[in-house]
Amino acid sequence: MKKLFLLFVPILVLALLSSCRPPELEGAFVDYNAGRYDNALKLAKEATEKYPTNAEAWYLLGEIYGKKEMYPEMKKAFDKALANNPTPDIQNKIKSATMYYFQQLFNRGVSNYNAYAKMEDTSSEEAKKQLEKSTQFFKLANIVKPDYKAVDLTALGYSILGQKDSALVYYKKLTTEWPDSADAFVKLGRFYVVQQQFKEAIPYLEKALEIDPNNSDAIQIIAEAYDFAGETDKAIETYKRAMKINPEEKAFPFNLGRLYFQKIADENIDEAAKAEYLKGCADAFGRVIELDPSMKEAYDYKSNCEIMAKNYEAALVTLKQATERFPDEGKFWYNLGVVYYNLKDNAKAKEAIDKAKELGLE
């Protein structure tokens, strides 16, 4: 029995030794728990170099980097830990630490952005510093944990700061990391439109509509992009489509009517097409007036289209509405006189023209 006991002891000691951490890693844990992060970092690095497949060593290195606010290094260390068959406990610790640091950084970004937005002069140097801090925090938050909102706010910050190249990097990042998001392509397309790079914007906005055919933001922006890129026919069809998706938005019929009006000025247009465009113009601005009766320009466009189409009865209705709502606008009285003249009512024509002259229109 005595011999059996002596044989058992070495086996037990061997088992205990095999379950122990390497000395470098144990020392790193001791220093980390005591708050001696510089020395803990040194020992943890030694542990990962000596034991490169030890998930716990990489996890601890990540935790130390987090304490030292070295977030890119922290992310790399955590990734190494996860790639080396970590225990469920280590996986959960990494998940918790990642979420903790992400929330800390994101919230700091929000705090700095709010401080910037509340400043009386957002163009001041102090405001700029707050926005720069905010952008950096959002950027770091996304490094810790990829997040759509963090990338979006990073891009926005760079855009406001006038750092267009950096903003473009992050707007493109939205589309590459979230390729199924119509919103990501809308934001990139809008960025190009703001930069007046309309042709560059169009493919991204078309992609947004491929993902979400009823995306109202994409419809609106791509219509503007087609418009300013000189693709008038595509712009007209897109504004028509936009009106069906959002029939209460007055900008869509206004821009549609404006494009029809531009078409009329084409010297090579035939009479049939001209008549079609004049009707489309009047109908579009009629819709604008329904949505917003106070929009003066809509009455002007609509009545001019009706006069050019020789639809004097319709023009008479439009101009009567216009003179009632804008009695001091001389051009409405003048055009009303023109309409009465064409309707053979010379007395009312003279009265309207005289009124226009009284208002200073010669």
Residue 31: per-residue pLDDT: 95
Instruction: Please say whether the beta carbons of 308 and 299 come within 8 A.
Output: no
| Region 21-86: CATH code | 1.25.40.10
pLDDT by 10s per residue, the chain, length 362: 444 444 444 443 333 333 478 998 999 999 999 999 999 999 999 999 999 999 999 999 999 999 999 999 999 999 999 999 999 999 999 999 999 999 999 999 999 999 999 999 999 999 999 999 999 999 999 999 999 999 999 999 999 999 999 999 999 999 999 999 999 999 999 999 999 999 999 999 999 999 999 898 999 999 999 999 999 999 999 999 999 988 999 999 999 999 999 998 877 888 999 999 999 999 999 999 999 999 999 999 999 999 999 999 999 999 999 999 999 999 999 999 999 999 999 999 999 999 999 998 86
Instruction: Please say whether the beta carbons of 170 and 148 come within 8 A.
Output: no
Task: Please state, in angstroms and rounded to a whole number, the distance separating the CA atoms of residues 224 and 201.
Answer: 10
Q: Which two tokens stand for residue 233?
A: 């026919």
Residue 285's alpha-carbon distances to 1, 235, 304, in angstroms, are 107, 16, 11
